[in-house]
Structure 1
Amino acid sequence: MASRELIVLGTASQVPTRHRNHNGYLLRWDEHGLLFDPGEGTQRQMARANARVSAITHVCISHFHGDHCLGLAGIIQRISLDGVSHEVHAYYPGSGQVFYERLRHASIFHDAATIVPHPVAEPGCIARTDAWTLHAARLDHSVDTLGYRLEEHAGRTLLPDRLAARGLRGPAIGQLVREGEITIDGARVTLDEVSVPRPGQVFAFVMDTRRCDAAVELARGADLLVCESTYLSEDADKAHDHGHLTAREAATIAQEAGVRRLVLAHFSQRYPEIDPFLEEARPIHPDVVAAADLDVIEVPARRPAAG
């Protein structure tokens, strides 16, 4: 399987610090690169992470507060400067179209980028490729905010003993996978007969929200969930007032949704250390990472095939 990993470009919330850049999360998913919430400084953070701007195929913006989008202008201009030839698809709340346009054309530059805008007006499936679908849902923040969910299409796992029993090997196996059936020595063999269902992997991105049903459903069964945890529980009132989550709430969402690995991010500048976020979340959801800038976090391996 090709590389699937998350590069954490920034973990600050509204105010960056000496050690935390504004938001930015690059999901490498096979041949695709999905950039989530490029805040100020994202272009430089990508350079520090040895991540090429040409790897970006999709940009997903949760909302138009500056720490989640101010880096978009620089990224688009760098895409032009580097002569990236492929289309880059941009998804964002449709209510923020005016802010998207300002960022898209923020200054004078030679505009050679092919950026395909996809303003999202309604929740649901917003993109589909041969390998995965991308869904968006509306969260509960102080402005119109989207969460995202990438679902790999389910597939099938071949069973070597069944293949051998049917006399299948080499090119015949490839033909079976492509066509769904094959005739060997006069006998018809279907793919279903020599394989079992394999669930697809799931990535979810929940940023800037109070606890809500949509956050849980976006995270349902995710292999990797990136979730904001701006506050610790000692400041739960502030979290609710400003439309954010605590580390405990993020862990509870992950546990209720059956998430495999939780990544906490978007930390308030009031907390100089991230260990307290781990200490608060780990008793509820053990597989948790409190992200630091430039961390590279693997998407957990596929769940075992059914059957």
Structure 2
Amino acid sequence: MVLGTGSQVPTRARNQNGYLLRWDDQGLLFDPGEGTQRQLQFAGVSASAITRLCLTHFHGDHCLGVPGIVQRLSLDGVSHPVYAHYPASGRAFFERLRHASAFHEVATVVEEPIEAEGTIARGSFGALEVKRLDHPVESFGYRLVEPAGRRMLPEALDRFGISGPQVGRLQREGSLTVGARTVTVQQVSVRREGQRFAFVMDTRLCDGVFALAEKADLLVIESTFLSSEAALAAEYGHLTAAQAGRVAAESGVRKLVLTHFSQRYDELTRFEDEAARAFGGEIVVAEDLGRIAVPKR
């Protein structure tokens, strides 16, 4: 769910940043800028859907929505803990945002500041990883990697006479005795690679960008400027749409989502055109309140 596609200055059509990823039982809210709480209302999404709050860095368009989100968690009585990930160098900023005004705090927000690159959380959903980006303030990008699994082959199951509840038992236990024969899960399935999601915000091109994007099924990436402003992008630590397309092409991305557009642009079709010159896959120019599906494996 795209909650905002603007950058430093919102426009009539674009709120500041905000992205909610629904992944199994997780709801990861990335970079909530000013107005994110209201955007959730427009999207019909409750605060209880949020399980993790993930900040890339502490520029206002990526974090000024934190006070409203944190207070809404308590107002709605969200019972599960919400884990907050953010660059450790910004602890003081997060403290101010979390307690920006008086409120009755009943929700549990568990702060987990990011000290270094690597895996910052694991669960049934897979692994949540971070890499450093190149921006004037400390910034991290995120990647969610699902564990590899098995895809059952119906024709193989039929051949061994396995059906119904037996399939689930075989998946859980790894083998199953059918008559006088023991059938292993490898005999009736093939390896299925886990899905990958990558989130890359304010940065120049750097190794971290390519590492995060590697084989991503869905890459959400900033494309603040067009190539005509490439020098400005480099000066302020941002990407162009053409660079985003290059990253997707060289990293084997399946679906590319462009976002975080400078307020100087009213017409966004040129962003897709520039990215498409480098990347031949599916490109989405994000729109506020748009829903974008992660491609199936």
TM-score, normalised by the number of residues in structure 1: 0.95
Instruction: Give the match for residue 31 of structure 2.
Output: 37
Residues 1:134 and 2:134 aligned together: no
- Does 1:300 find its partner at 2:295? yes
Give, as a single letter, the amino acid of the residue that structure 2 aligns with 1:133.
Answer: A
Summarize the alignment of residues 20-99 of structure 1 with structure 2, pairs less than 5 Å apart.
20-99=14-93
What does residue 305 of structure 1 align with? none
Over aligned residue pairs, what C-alpha RMSD do you find? 0.9
Pairing of 1:145-184 with structure 2 (within 5 A): 145-184=139-178
Deviates more, 1:288-297 or 1:76-85: 288-297
Shift of 1:28: 1.2
TM superposition shift of 1:202: 0.6
What fraction of aligned residue pairs are identical, expressed as a percent?
58
- State the distance in 2 between where 1:165 and 1:276 align: 53
1: distance between equivalents of 2:260 and 2:195?
24
Aligned structure 1 segments of 4 or more residues deviating by more than 2 angstroms: none
1:117 aligns with 2:137: no
Give the structure 1 partner of residue 102 of structure 2: 108
Query: What is aligned with 2:4?
Result: 10
Distance, in Å, in 2 between the alignment partners of 1:279 and 1:110 is: 49
Please list the CA deviations of residues 114-167 of structure 1 after superposition, one character each: whole Å capped at 9, or x if unmatched. Answer: 111110101011110123110000000000000000011110011112112222
Superposed, 1:266-305 pairs within 5 Å as 266-286=260-280, 287-302=282-297
Q: Which residue of 2 aligns with 1:251?
A: 245
Q: Per the alignment, in what secondary structure is the counterpart of residue 292 of structure 2?
A: strand
Deviations 1:37-60 (A, max 9, x none): 000000000111111111011111
Asked whether the equivalents of residues 24 and 125 of structure 2 are also in contact (C-alpha less than 8 Å), the reply is no
Instruction: Kindly state the Cα deviation for residue 102 of structure 1 after the two structures are TM-superposed.
Output: 0.9
2:180 aligns to what? 186
Aligned pair count?
A: 296
Q: Specify the code of the residue in structure 2 equivalent to 1:237.
A: A
Residue 174 of structure 1 deviates from its aligned partner by 1.1
TM-score by length of 2: 0.98
SS in 2 for 1:241: helix
Aligned residue in 1 for 2:235:
241
How far off its partner does 1:189 sit?
1.5
Deviations 1:209-247 (CA, angstroms, capped at 9, x unpaired) = 000111011000001000001110000000000000000
Instruction: Confirm or deny: 8 A CA contact 2:223 2:240 kept in the other structure.
Output: yes
Does the aligned pair in 1 maintain the 2:17–2:61 contact within 8 Å?
A: yes
The answer to whether the 8 Å contact 2:4/2:289 transfers is yes
Measure how far apart 1:31 and its partner are: 2.1
